[in-house]
C-alpha cells in the first residue's frame, strides 16, 4: 500500500533536480574549511539573515545544542517554552551537553510573553543559577506550526538587552513563518544572537541545518561542532541540496499552508475531531480525538489501515504535516478517510 505520509515534513525525499545539483556539487574537506559548496552556502545564508557568519551542521538538534553550549557556562539557566522542541524532544541535551538547567515557561501556543520572561529571570545572588539565554521557537511545532508574533519578539529583545541576556531562535521552520507573514529573514536576524534553521523539513533537503550569528560566535560554534562529532568532510553534496532548496523551495511553502488550511477546514466539520483553526497558521494541523472514544494509538492504527499516516500529539491529539511530497489530491483522499471513519 502506498501511504499518504503526513507524519512530518521531514519525510520528504530529494527530487531528481535536487539530486542532480548534489551530483554536480564541487566538494572539498570541510574540516579544513575547503569545501567550496559549503562555503558558498554559509556566505549565502549569513547574507540572507543579515549576520556575519553561519555554520552548516548535520541536524536541527545539533544546531540548537551548539548554540546553547556557546552561549552558556555549566550551571547557568536558560529560559525555554515548556512545549518547545529543545525542552521536550532533545533528550535533555542542554543539561547533558552544556550542563545548564532549563527553566520551562508556560507559553500560550508556544508564545511566551515578555512579562513571563521578565518574571523568570533570576535576580543576582550566589545561591541562584545565572539566567543566560532565552530560547524561542518559530514556528512552534507542538502548536501546529503557529507563528511567534514579531511585536512580542521585540518586547522580549528589549528585556534581553536590559538584562544582558542572549537570544536564540530555533527556526527549524522559520521559512514557513517568513513566507506566511512576509517578514524578511534579516528582520529576525536583528533580534537574535543565534538562529538555527533546517533544510531537511519543508524545504525538502535530505539532511542539514545551519546556525547563524556573529563571526566570533560562529568561530566558537565551529569548535563545538567538532566536539559534538559534527565535523564533516566532503559535505558539499549536502550543501548543494540546501542551496537548491533555498533557490527553489521557499516560496512553494505557501502551497503547504493552503493544504493545511483546507485539511483543517474539512476536518473541523466532523463531529468527532476538534480543531483549533486559529492555530492553523502554516503547514501543520493538530486535531483532538477525545470524542472518538478511542485512544491515540487506536486512531493512528485505524488511519494507517486506511493508508494515512499521522503522529501522536499532546492532550489526546494527532498531528498532520503538509509537505512537498503530498499532493492536493492525496490531501483530499486523506480527508475522505477521516470522513469515513469519524463522521
Ligand atoms: N522536529 C521533528 C520531531 O523531532 C518532533 C518533527 O517532526 O517536527 N526544532 C524544531 C522546532 C523541530 O520541529 C525539530 C524536528 C528540530 C528542532 C530538530 O531537528 P532535527 O530532527 O534535524 O534534529
Instruction: Taking residues 38-51, report their average pLDDT.
Output: 98
Cell numbers describing residue 341: 471513519
Cell numbers describing residue 327: 499532493
User: Is 90 exceeded by the pLDDT of residue 335?
Assistant: yes
Atom of ligand 1 lying closest to residue 9 CA: 7
To test the pocket of ligand 1, the residue of 7, 12, 57, 61 to mutate (highest count of ligand atoms within 8 Å of its CB) is 61
Positions of E strands within 11-65: 53-57
The pLDDT value recorded for residue 120 is: 98
User: Is 90 exceeded by the pLDDT of residue 113?
Assistant: yes
Q: CB 158: neighbour CB atoms within 10 A?
A: 12
Instruction: Name the DSSP letter for residue 33.
Output: T
Buried b (16+ CB within 10 A) or exposed e, 213-242: beeebbeebbebbeebebbbebbbbbbbbb
Which residue, chain included where needed, has cell 545539483? 21
The pLDDT value recorded for residue 231 is: 97
The pLDDT value recorded for residue 131 is: 98
DSSP-derived 3-state class of residue 126:
coil
Sign for the CA dihedral angle at 144, 150, 249, 209 comes to negative
Is the CB of 85 within 6 Å of ligand 1? yes
140-173 pLDDT, tens per residue? 999 999 999 999 999 999 999 999 999 999 999 9
255-265 pLDDT, tens per residue? 999 999 999 99
210-255 pLDDT, tens per residue? 999 999 999 999 999 999 999 999 999 999 999 999 999 999 999 9
CA dist 205 and 286 (Å) reads: 24
Report whether the peptide linkage leading into residue 195 is cis, meaning its omega lies within 30 degrees of zero: no
Is the CB of 59 within 6 Å of ligand 1? yes
CA of 173 to the centre of ligand 1 (A): 9
pTM for this entry: 0.98
Confidence of residue 314 (pLDDT cuts 50, 70, 90): confident
Buried b (16+ CB within 10 A) or exposed e, 50-85: ebebbbbbbbbbbbbbbbbbbbbeeebbbbbbebbb
Instruction: Name the DSSP letter for residue 313.
Output: E
52-88 pLDDT, tens per residue? 999 999 999 999 999 999 999 999 999 999 999 999 9
CA dist 248 and 237 (Å) reads: 17
CA of 128 to the centre of ligand 1 (A): 31
Mean pLDDT (the chain) is: 97
Rg of the chain over all Cα atoms, to the nearest angstrom? 20
User: Is 90 exceeded by the pLDDT of residue 338?
Assistant: yes
Question: From residue 32, how far is each of 67, 83, 159, 235 by CA, in Å?
Answer: 21, 38, 39, 12
Name all domains of the chain by residue range, CATH numbers in brackets.
14-248 (3.40.640.10), 252-342 (3.90.1150.10)
CA of 316 to the centre of ligand 1 (A): 20
CA of 299 to the centre of ligand 1 (A): 23
Confidence of residue 343 (pLDDT cuts 50, 70, 90): confident
Cell numbers describing residue 37: 559548496
User: Is 90 exceeded by the pLDDT of residue 315?
Assistant: no
Confidence of residue 108 (pLDDT cuts 50, 70, 90): very high
Lowest mean pLDDT among 119-123, 205-209, 311-315, 335-339: 311-315
CA dist 216 and 155 (Å) reads: 26
Q: Burial, 250: exposed, middle or buried (Cβ in 10 Å; 0-12, 13-18, 19+)?
A: middle
Instruction: Taking residues 303-330, report their average pLDDT.
Output: 96
Amino acid at each position: 500500500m502506498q501511504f499518504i505520509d503526513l507524519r512530518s515534513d521531514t519525510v520528504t525525499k530529494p527530487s531528481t533536480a535536487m539530486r542532480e545539483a548534489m551530483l554536480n556539487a564541487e566538494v572539498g574537506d570541510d574540516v579544513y574549511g575547503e569545501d567550496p559548496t559549503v562555503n558558498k552556502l554559509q556566505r549565502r545564508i549569513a547574507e540572507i539573515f543579515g549576520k556575519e557568519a553561519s555554520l552548516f551542521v548535520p541536524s536541527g538538534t545539533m544546531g540548537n545544542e551548539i548554540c546553547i553550549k556557546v552561549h552558556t557556562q555549566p550551571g547557568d539557566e536558560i529560559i525555554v517554552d515548556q512545549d518547545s522542541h529543545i525542552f521536550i524532544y532533545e533528550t535533555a541535551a542542554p543539561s547533558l551537553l552544556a550542563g545548564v538547567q532549563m527553566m520551562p515557561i508556560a507559553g500560550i501556543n508556544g508564545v511566551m510573553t515578555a512579562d513571563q520572561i521578565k518574571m523568570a529571570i533570576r535576580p543576582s545572588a550566589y545561591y541562584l543559577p545565572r539566567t543566560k539565554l532565552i530560547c524561542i521557537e518559530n514556528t512552534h511545532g507542538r502548536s501546529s506550526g503557529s507563528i511567534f508574533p514579531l511585536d512580542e519578539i521585540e518586547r522580549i529583545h528589549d528585556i534581553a538587552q536590559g538584562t544582558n541576556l542572549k537570544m536564540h531562535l530555533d527556526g527549524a521552520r522559520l521559512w514557513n513563518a517568513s513566507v506566511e507573514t512576509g517578514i524578511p529573514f534579516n528582520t529576525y536576524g536583528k533580534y537574535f544572537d543565534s538562529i538555527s534553521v533546517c533544510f531537511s523539513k519543508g524545504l525538502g533537503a535530505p539532511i542539514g541545518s545551519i546556525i547563524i550569528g556573529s563571526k566570533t560566535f560562529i568561530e566558537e560554534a565551529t569548535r563545538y561542532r567538532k566536539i559534538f562529532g559534527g565535523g564533516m568532510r566532503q559535505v558539499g553534496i549536502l550543501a548543494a541540496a540546501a542551496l537548491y532548496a533555498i533557490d527553489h523551495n521557499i516560496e512553494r511553502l505557501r502551497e503547504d499552508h493552503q493544504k493545511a488550511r483546507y485539511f483543517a477546514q474539512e476536518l473541523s466539520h466532523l463531529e468527532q475531531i476538534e480543531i483549533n483553526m486559529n492555530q492553523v497558521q502554516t503547514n501543520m494541523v493538530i486535531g483532538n480525538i477525545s470524542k472518538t472514544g478511542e485512544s491515540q494509538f487506536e486512531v493512528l492504527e485505524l488511519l494507517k489501515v486506511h493508508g494515512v499516516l499521522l503522529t501522536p500529539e499532546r492532550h489526546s491529539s494527532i498531528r498532520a504535516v503538509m509537505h512537498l511530497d503530498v499532493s492536493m489530491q492525496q490531501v483530499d483522499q486523506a480527508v475522505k478517510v477521516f470522513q469515513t471513519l469519524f463522521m
